[in-house]
Amino acid sequence: MKVVLKHLTKQFPGPNKKTPGTIAVNDFDFEIPDGKLVGLLGPSGCGKSTTLNLISGLETPTSGQVFFGDDDMTKVPVENRGVGLVFQNYALYPHLTVEENIIFPLQNLKGEQKLTKEQMKEKALEVAKLVQIEKYMERKPKALSGGQQQRVAIARALVKMPKVLLLDEPLSNLDARLRLQTREELRRIQKETGITTIFVTHDQEEAMSICDLMVVMKAGIVNQIGRPQDIYDDPINLFVAQFLGTPPINVFTGRVENGKVIVNGDDVFDAPGVPDQDIYLAVRPEGFIPNGTRFRYMRERREIMGRDVSIIFTHENALNPNNRAIVSAEENIPEQPGEAFFDLKPAKTFLFSRETEERIRF
């Protein structure tokens, strides 16, 4: 089932009549293709959870529409939308066993859809097997680990075969190791069921690793939509460039003059055809060629991590005190601090207008 959001806007009322409300989601316009795994990504407070709630129906939009397939769902109450929702804290009913939790949505079915006890148990076992939790059916949620609780929450959301599966920060309560494992699981479950899945996260690595499509949001506004790698390789503004990628992108202030990027007096990069203006020069950590000639920097130290070497360096024009370049371990990088030069890889180097922070293409 594809999900279409048309000019979706949500404004929360202010504390009193004089103060204007907060616009949590501003003119969200997007079509989520059928059967895809889509990540809503952004820093906290950017409106991604609100967007999820607008899709689920827990919130009603101030304006705009939500479609599932060709059906307008905007006015349909949450219980009739047929969505499965996994909460950040899982919201498993603590007084019910795993099986009772999974069956709970089925017991709400009325009329023709009504199932017998055996059918319910059968269905519950089916999804429990899918998320590999069938061994713990008799346990209470308290007796499960975070990862297992998460699976139960997913099973509960899946059991009634929702048209759309929504996940709110599904991995944030798990430790690093479990997170890796669970995100692969999520991907597998989504592939096996083929249910259109939308999940919210503030962790760009998580989003990049499993999404078919990624939506980067900031302050209620959609900044960029696309395949994770495409967004990473081709960010449309400074925010998106900075938000994606670990270690983060290195940003320097500079100026374009006569088709050359001047940083701290040095001509560091060619930007043919770009009008003269103040700019941000942003370089991915893997965008530096060591032992170059144009980009002068102060090496602080090097960190050898197996096949890579990180060069931690400072620069007068850098936005952050510490910058990081990642190069192959085969390169000969001196250990002691000192001045040296990089060259910049064009594909990993972006220019952004200082004024608008929009990408300058050339």
Partner 1 sequence: MKNSNLKPWLYLLPAIIFLVLFMVYPLVDVFIYSAEEEYNSASQTYSGIGTYNFSYVLHAPFFLQALKNTFILVIITVPLSTGIALLISLGLNSITKLKDFFQTTFFLPYVTNTLAVGLVFMILFKKTAYSEGMINLLINAFGGKSVDFIDGPYWAKMFVLCFYTIWIVLPFKILILTSALASVNQDYYNAAKVDGTGRFRIFTKITLPMISPMLFYLVITGFIGAFKAYSDSVALFGTDLNAAGMNTIVGYVYDMLYGDSGGYPSYASAAAVILFAIVLTITCINLMVSKKHVHYT
Q: Does 76 bind partner 1 (CB under 8 A)?
A: no
Distance of CA 37 to the CA centre of its chain: 11
Distance in Å, CB of 152 to partner 1, minimum: 12
Distance in Å, CB of 312 to partner 1, minimum: 42
Q: Does 74 bind partner 1 (CB under 8 A)?
A: no
Secondary structure class of 134 (helix, strand, coil) = helix
Distance in Å, CB of 87 to partner 1, minimum: 5
Secondary structure class of 209 (helix, strand, coil) = helix
* CA–CA distances in Å: residue 170 to residues 91, 311, 317: 12, 34, 38
73 phi-psi bin (left φ>0, alpha ψ -120 to 50, beta other): alpha
Q: Does 87 bind partner 1 (CB under 8 A)?
A: yes
Secondary structure class of 125 (helix, strand, coil) = helix
Q: Which residue has the tokens 């910049």?
A: 344
Q: Does 94 bind partner 1 (CB under 8 A)?
A: yes
Distance in Å, CB of 20 to partner 1, minimum: 21
Interface with partner 1 (CB under 8 A), residue total: 23
Nearer to partner 1, 102 or 137 (CB): 102
Q: Which stretch binds partner 1 (CB under 8 A): 35-43, 81-89, 218-226, 278-286?
A: 81-89
Q: Does 105 bind partner 1 (CB under 8 A)?
A: yes
Angle (CA) 282-284-287 rounded to 5° is: 105
Distance CA 100, CA 223 (A): 42
Q: What are phi and psi of 241, to 5 degrees?
A: -60, -40
Distance in Å, CB of 293 to partner 1, minimum: 58
Q: Does 139 bind partner 1 (CB under 8 A)?
A: no
Q: Give the residues lining the site for partner 1 (CB under 8 A).
A: 56-58, 78-80, 83-85, 87, 89, 91, 93-95, 104-105, 107-109, 142, 156, 160
